[in-house]
Structure formats: C-alpha cells, structure tokens
C-alpha cells in the first residue's frame, strides 16, 4: 500500500487484504476483488512499467511462514461428482454404492472448521471405535486406515443474510477464491460411525492444507 501501486477498487481491496486475516477481503463484492487480482497480475508481469517499484515489496517464498488466511466459521464437504460419489460408496456399500438421492440433491455435510490447518502441521491418527466385518462387537483404538485425498477448496466471500437464499445466477459472485486441500479420513472409524448421520470423529483430525495462491485452505469432500 505504501508504494502507491494500487488505486480505486484495487486499492480498497488491497487495504482489506492487508490485515492478519483475509475475511474483510473475502467479504468484498466481486468487482473489488477482481480489480485487485487484475492489478497484481499487471505488477507481476515481466517488463511491467512498475516492476521497479513492485520488486522491493516481494518476499522469497522460502522466507515466508504459511498461516491460515482467514478465520473459518464453517465449511461444507461435498462429493466433486458422480464418479467420486460412486467410488467412495464402493468402500462402504459394494452392492449399492450410489444412493438414489445423489442424482437429485447435492450430498454433503458440515465438517469441523477448527480441524483445518496449514501445511506442515503434524497429523495424529484419531482414536475411536472400529468394527471389522468379522467382529461381533466394536473395539477402541487408533485408526489403522488413515488416508487423504487431494481436493478443491472454495472460499465463499460476501455470503448471505440468515434465511436469505442466493440466486443460482449470482453464485459465482460469492466465490472469493480457490485452493488445494488434503482431506484426511480415518476410513475404519468412518465405516462404523457414518450411518445414519454421516462421519464424525473420522473426519475431525487436524487437516494440513496445501496453498494454491491466495487465499488457500478449506475443503470439499
């Protein structure tokens, strides 16, 4: 900001993004966010007329510490498509992998936002109940089937007032950014606990996320 590289809507968005978290930036309307992204692209372009003023503002990635970019109040975890839903269903219901409601409504659940972490945070396998198919009773202990999936995260920007739906035609205006996410799951715990209300402890371990620009982190199933 001090270098005077931004004006108008881009300057307003840069000011909103200058704090310790990006929530004020994500809350802006699409026009201001897009103006800042366009201006940053101009500044970082080889041969930019403002290259000399912009270069002192840059920092080597190796000298930076990755933080969560925003306070995450909530997130919803979705299947990315019918093939994903079918493949996951095969793990738990080989004879009936794709439930009929999938073709009519988006299938998702609310995850535990406090479990989202930036890359580099150690992941500790959760402890919980598991019940192998050949066991008569469940047992308790650390997960033996911990895995992760590389997924797409979508940051929701301005959002809506409680009870006021967002028109589908305006949905894209509320997308504040994208990122990559490693979604960790304890599959043996999940297989026992997911019916009838879905995953609980199997999805609540700390989740390291991998950045893909700004902002980064959050998740889709």
| Measured distance CA(88)–CA(109) in Å, rounded | 15
Buried b (16+ CB within 10 A) or exposed e, 133-157: eeeeeeeeeebeebeeeebebbbbb
- Given a contact cutoff of 8 angstroms between Cβ atoms, the answer to whether 43 and 50 are in contact is yes
Rg over CA atoms, the chain:
21
- Given a contact cutoff of 8 angstroms between Cβ atoms, the answer to whether 78 and 105 are in contact is no
Picking from 136, 112, 107, 109, the residue whose alpha carbon sits closest to that of residue 126 is 112
Tokens, residue 137? 């009773």
84 is catalytic: yes
Q: Which of 84, 104, 110, 174 is catalytic?
A: 84
Terminal CA-CA length for the chain:
37
Active-site residues, by number, are: 84
């Amino acid at each position: 900001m001090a270098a005077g590289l931004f004006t108008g809507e881009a300057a307003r968005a840069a000011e909103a993004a200058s704090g310790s978290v990006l929530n004020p930036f994500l809350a802006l309307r699409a026009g201001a966010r897009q103006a800042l992204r366009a201006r940053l692209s101009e500044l970082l372009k080889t041969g930019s007329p403002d290259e000399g003023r912009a270069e002192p503002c840059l920092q080597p990635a190796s000298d930076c510490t990755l933080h969560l970019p925003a306070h995450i109040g909530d997130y919803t975890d979705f299947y990315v498509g019918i093939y994903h839903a079918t493949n996951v269903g095969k793990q738990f219901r080989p004879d009936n992998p794709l439930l009929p409601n999938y073709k009519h409504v988006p299938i998702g659940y609310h995850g535990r936002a406090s479990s989202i972490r930036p890359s580099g945070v150690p992941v500790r396998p959760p402890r919980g109940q598991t019940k192998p198919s050949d066991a008569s009773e469940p047992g308790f202990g650390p997960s033996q089937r911990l895995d992760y999936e590389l997924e797409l995260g979508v940051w929701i920007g301005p959002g809506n007032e409680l009870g006021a739906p967002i028109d589908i035609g305006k949905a894209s205006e509320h997308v504040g950014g994208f990122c990559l996410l490693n979604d960790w799951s304890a599959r043996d715990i999940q297989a026992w606990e997911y019916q009838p209300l879905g995953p609980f402890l199997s999805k609540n371990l700390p989740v390291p996320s991998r950045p893909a620009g700004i902002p980064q982190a959050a998740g889709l199933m």
